[in-house]
């Protein structure tokens, strides 16, 4: 460099540098609106003693409840529900309340890092410029079809951004996944709706308007689809009509939290839910008179009762309840769908609804409406699709994998070896906020903001009959050196140039959001109107989202869904064990709660166990095996084994062993790591007809270990079980 370096050149270069820096660093949302003000004119959010409230969206699950955050001098203090939000009407669940402990979690990934080697704890901090460059290089150095995106079920704006990017650049469409979607069997529900009503979509169940609810394993009071709205609807069913209290019957082999609220809990043999639904259909149809619909003709209630280990009188009694009800409804879900015949179960139960003619009516079943900015229902990947994805990874089809908002190494069954398949991918870039198991296997972690520091929106898929796009905005400035993944991708796309830059011609995430949200301006019947996009966006943030004012109930198209055969078969079980294995999602932890100490310390509603994994076993079974409370036993399936303490649970079939999902992390911070076991280690790659995981289709054996480890219980064993007063 012998050339003279002129002053003009210097200024040019300096200007260019400044511009780059501005692009790279200056587009963080917090720094966008910085303004100098005299000390006396404090902005309201900084005034001493004044709380400021911001509307945003909960990211603890994909439901998309609206939140109002109380902040005080720049700190977020308390989560409250957004009373105007149609989904949750001001209510929250426990996990939503604890989202602050995600924000203020001591174990967050604080800086972008490069990992020394996959699986190793040792990392090298990077600066964001290099990080963005790394992403840009990944986009440009590989062919578009060698790049894959794996995303969580929230947030939707990032999914839309990546979809746009993938579509434009010819990359693989992003895949979404989450443990909750795996246990909810969303694909099964939507395929059953399609096959019965000829129209795909998420069925929504209007419990609030029903007077008799017959649920087949649906854990709608726990984590299923949209627990806050279903709990509210449950309350409406019970006490909404002052003259008549709704009646609730649950068929489930274990008394779940939902079943514990049922008037009648009817334990049936796992795998016979579909048969029972068909038998009920036949009994109801016979009681109603007229010709027997084809769907129910092939089933014999007496045989079904024997197969399901339920008395025929019970079935007749339930059928009588349904017949004499005004607006009965049947709900399929939970473990009933996680069987090898899950789709059949869903179809049989939906057929029962069709039989009582509640489809599309108040108190009945309808299909959730699509959001206005959505062309088709993008459901999360089923476990089968995930297996295909993993196989492609292992075969080396993908050279670069971007992962955001999902932790498949932990969540997917061990038999679908996500971690092993990562070795087929050259470069793994994670955008994890927390150091979870998947981030531990990534080459780079470029941490995203926590949900409360983020912009975005979430489409409400189910739980309300309105179309809702729930808006998110940062309620505090980012606490650590993290950066919004959307910003990183936009900046990287700019750096990468070409199609990438053309697809995302935005300065930052907020501009991208503006472009998406302002498209709603033209929609009729919106919850608010505004003269210009800026005001519209401001309202969007202020109200916590956009929704239409009136109900949009999509009823099914097929006029005669009952005129078809539904195969009345029992489910298959894999494994040679003698006990049915029933994993269920921990109601207090769900998929992301394990790193939040307050959630860890929340007692499980039914067992009151805190901080660890337990194995539910009927006391009779335990007596036969010589097992006592707190004995550590080994549960062995064909694909794995886990050890945990036994909880003698009185309300479970003696041939069923149940375990909560949510613990068993090997990473994910100090509150989660090394605590409990993961029941998905026991599950095989065993799917139902719709490709969802047949998580309840495993049989296991129980082995004593001779060890004892006391479970942490909120209840006192003495008063509840051992020395109870009459």
3-state secondary structure at position 427: strand
Beta bridge partners of 124: 114
Burial of 376 (0-12, 13-18, 19+ CB in 10 A): exposed
The whole-angstrom separation of Cα 118 and Cα 441 is: 5
Q: Is 567 or 720 the residue whose CB approaches other proteins more closely? A: 720
Q: Is 159 or 661 the residue whose CB approaches other proteins more closely? A: 661
The Cα-based distances of 612 to 265, 331, 407, 609, 677 in angstroms read 27, 30, 20, 7, 8
Structure tokens at 328: 């009965």
Q: Is 221 or 537 the residue whose CB approaches other proteins more closely? A: 221
Closest contact distance (angstroms) between CB of 718 and other proteins is: 4
Closest contact distance (angstroms) between CB of 233 and other proteins is: 10
Structure tokens at 255: 């008394």
The whole-angstrom separation of Cα 141 and Cα 399 is: 10
192 close to 209: Cβ distance less than 8 angstroms: no
Closest contact distance (angstroms) between CB of 231 and other proteins is: 4
3-state secondary structure at position 552: coil
Closest contact distance (angstroms) between CB of 618 and other proteins is: 6
Q: Is 706 or 725 the residue whose CB approaches other proteins more closely? A: 725
Closest contact distance (angstroms) between CB of 690 and other proteins is: 29
Closest contact distance (angstroms) between CB of 123 and other proteins is: 15
Give me the residue label for tokens 């004044």.
50
Closest contact distance (angstroms) between CB of 287 and other proteins is: 23
**Number of Cβ within a 10 Å radius of residue 716:** 11
Q: Is 199 or 241 the residue whose CB approaches other proteins more closely? A: 241
Closest contact distance (angstroms) between CB of 603 and other proteins is: 7
The whole-angstrom separation of Cα 566 and Cα 37 is: 70
Q: Where are the alpha helices (DSSP H) in 6-98?
A: 7-25, 29-32, 94-97
The Cα-based distances of 417 to 171, 175, 338, 673, 677 in angstroms read 24, 17, 20, 20, 17
First vs last C-alpha separation in the chain: 94
Q: Is 107 or 426 the residue whose CB approaches other proteins more closely? A: 107
Q: Where are the alpha helices (DSSP H) in 118-249?
A: 128-141, 156-169, 179-184, 186-197, 227-239
Q: Is 501 or 651 the residue whose CB approaches other proteins more closely? A: 651
Closest contact distance (angstroms) between CB of 235 and other proteins is: 4
Q: Is 91 or 414 the residue whose CB approaches other proteins more closely? A: 91
Show the 3-state SS of 298-345.
CCCHHHHHHHHCCCHHHHHHHHHHHHHCCCEEEEECHHHCCCCCHHHH
Q: Is 72 or 142 the residue whose CB approaches other proteins more closely? A: 72
Q: Is 419 or 713 the residue whose CB approaches other proteins more closely? A: 713
Closest contact distance (angstroms) between CB of 67 and other proteins is: 11
Beta strands in 73-146 (DSSP E): 75-81, 113-115, 123-125
């Amino acid at each position: 460099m012998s050339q003279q370096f002129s002053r003009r050149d210097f200024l040019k270069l300096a200007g260019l540098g400044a511009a780059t820096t501005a692009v790279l660093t200056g587009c963080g949302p917090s720094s966008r609106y910085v303004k100098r003000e005299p000390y006396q004119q404090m902005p309201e959010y900084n005034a001493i003693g004044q709380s400021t409230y911001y509307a945003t969206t909960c990211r603890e699950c994909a439901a998309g409840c609206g939140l109002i955050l109380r902040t005080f001098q720049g700190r977020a203090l308390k989560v409250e529900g957004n009373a105007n939000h149609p989904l949750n009407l001001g209510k929250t669940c426990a996990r939503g309340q604890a989202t602050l402990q995600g924000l203020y979690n001591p174990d967050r990934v604080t800086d972008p890092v490069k990992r020394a080697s996959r699986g190793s704890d040792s990392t090298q901090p990077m600066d964001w410029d290099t990080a963005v460059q790394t992403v840009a290089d990944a986009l440009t150095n590989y062919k578009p079809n060698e790049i894959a995106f794996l995303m969580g079920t929230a947030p939707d704006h990032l999914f839309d951004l990546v979809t746009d990017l993938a579509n434009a650049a010819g990359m693989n469409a992003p895949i979404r996944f989450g443990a909750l979607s795996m246990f909810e069997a969303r694909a099964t529900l939507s395929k059953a709706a399609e096959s019965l009503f000829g129209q795909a979509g998420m069925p929504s169940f209007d419990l609030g308007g029903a007077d008799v609810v017959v649920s087949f394993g649906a854990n709608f009071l726990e984590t299923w689809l949209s627990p806050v709205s279903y709990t509210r609807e449950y309350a409406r069913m019970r006490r909404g009509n002052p003259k008549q209290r709704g009646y609730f019957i649950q068929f489930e082999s274990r008394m779940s939290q939902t079943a514990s609220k049922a008037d009648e809990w009817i334990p049936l043999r796992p795998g016979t839910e579909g048969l029972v639904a068909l038998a009920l259909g036949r009994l109801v149809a016979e009681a109603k008179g007229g010709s027997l619909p084809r769907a129910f003709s092939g089933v014999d209630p007496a045989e079904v009762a024997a197969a399901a280990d339920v008395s025929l009188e019970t079935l007749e009694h339930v059928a009588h309840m349904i017949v004499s009800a005004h607006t009965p409804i049947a709900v399929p879900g939970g473990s009933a769908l996680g069987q090898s015949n899950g789709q059949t179960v869903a179809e049989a139960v939906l057929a029962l609804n069709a039989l009582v003619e509640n489809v599309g009516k108040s108190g009945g079943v309808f299909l959730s409406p699509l959001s206005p900015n959505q062309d088709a229902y993008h459901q999360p990947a089923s476990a089968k699709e995930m297996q295909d994805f993993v196989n492609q990874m292992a075969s080396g089809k993908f050279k670069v994998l971007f992962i955001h908002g999902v932790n498949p190494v932990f969540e997917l069954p061990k038999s679908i070896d996500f971690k092993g398949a990562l070795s087929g991918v050259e470069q793994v870039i994670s955008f994890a906020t927390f150091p979870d198991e998947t981030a531990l296997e990534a080459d780079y972690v470029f941490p995203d903001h926590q949900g409360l520091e983020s912009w975005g929106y979430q489409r409400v898929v189910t739980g309300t009959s309105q179309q809702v796009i729930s808006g998110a905005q940062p309620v505090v400035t980012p606490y650590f050196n993290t950066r919004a993944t959307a910003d990183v991708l936009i900046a990287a796309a700019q750096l990468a140039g070409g199609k990438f830059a053309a697809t995302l011609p935005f300065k930052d995430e907020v501009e991208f959001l503006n472009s998406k949200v302002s498209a709603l301006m033209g929609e009729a019947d919106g919850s608010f109107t505004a003269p210009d996009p800026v005001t519209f966006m401001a309202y969007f943030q202020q109200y916590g989202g956009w929704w239409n004012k009136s109900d949009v109930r999509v009823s099914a198209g097929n006029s005669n869904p009952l005129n078809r055969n539904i195969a009345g078969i029992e489910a298959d079980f894999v494994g040679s064990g003698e006990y049915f294995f029933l994993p269920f999602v921990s109601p207090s932890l769900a998929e992301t709660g394990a790193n939040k100490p307050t959630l860890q310390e929340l007692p499980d509603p039914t067992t009151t166990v805190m901080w660890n994994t337990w194995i539910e076993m009927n006391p009779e079974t335990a007596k036969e095996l010589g097992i006592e409370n707190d004995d550590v036993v080994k549960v062995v399936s064909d694909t794995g084994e886990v050890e945990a303490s036994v909880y003698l649970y009185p309300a479970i079939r003696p041939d069923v062993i149940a375990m909560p999902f949510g613990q068993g992390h090997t990473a994910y911070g100090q509150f989660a790591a090394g605590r409990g076991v993961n029941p998905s280690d026991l599950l095989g790659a065993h799917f139902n007809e719709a490709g969802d995981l047949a998580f309840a289709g495993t049989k296991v054996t129980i082995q004593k270990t001779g060890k004892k480890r006391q479970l942490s219980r909120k209840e006192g064993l003495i008063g509840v079980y051992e020395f109870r007063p009459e």
